Amino acid sequence: MFGNVREPGAPVWYICWPKANNRGRDDKLADHPKTVRIREDVLEAAITDFYAERVFGRSRIALLTAELASYDDRATQERAAERSRLVDAVRAPAGIGPAAYRLGANTDWARPGWVNGWSVMGGGRGG
């Protein structure tokens, strides 16, 4: 969005004109109107009300809690499962058990494949 003043003393209008910024990417703008215009005083009042109620208002914690409860965290859970699957896939060929990779395990991070001076690859005690 950008501001636009047509004549001195006239209200400022903010304009969203997506075609100017996204030439050749019409698929991203299929549901967007060609142009959106909103007067600055209307936009300023809406933003002021939002901050007064949602950010600094007395009921901000209750509003935030209700909003967060409505979010779907399925994507986060899917990313965590995929990350776990990939880590397991990397560990399996090397015969490395999950205990060696837990946070806080005594792993020699400077030498991958070593835990407490022992090779988890089956090579015995290292120096």
Give the separation between CA 54 and CA 67, rounded to whole angstroms: 11
Rounded Cα–Cα distance for residues 48 and 44 (Å): 6
The domain locations on the chain are 2-69, 74-117
Q: What is the DSSP string of 91-103?
A: HHHHT--GGGGST
Using CA atoms, how far apart are residues 112 and 116, in angstroms rounded to an integer? 11
Note the pLDDT tens digit of each residue in 11-53. Answer: 898 888 776 666 667 677 777 777 788 999 999 999 999 999 8
Q: What is the pLDDT of residues 54-72, one digit of tens each?
A: 889 899 889 888 888 887 8
Give the C-alpha separation, 91 to 78, whole Å.
20
Q: What's the pTM value of the predicted model, to 2 decimals?
A: 0.43
Cβ contact 20:5 at 8 Å = no
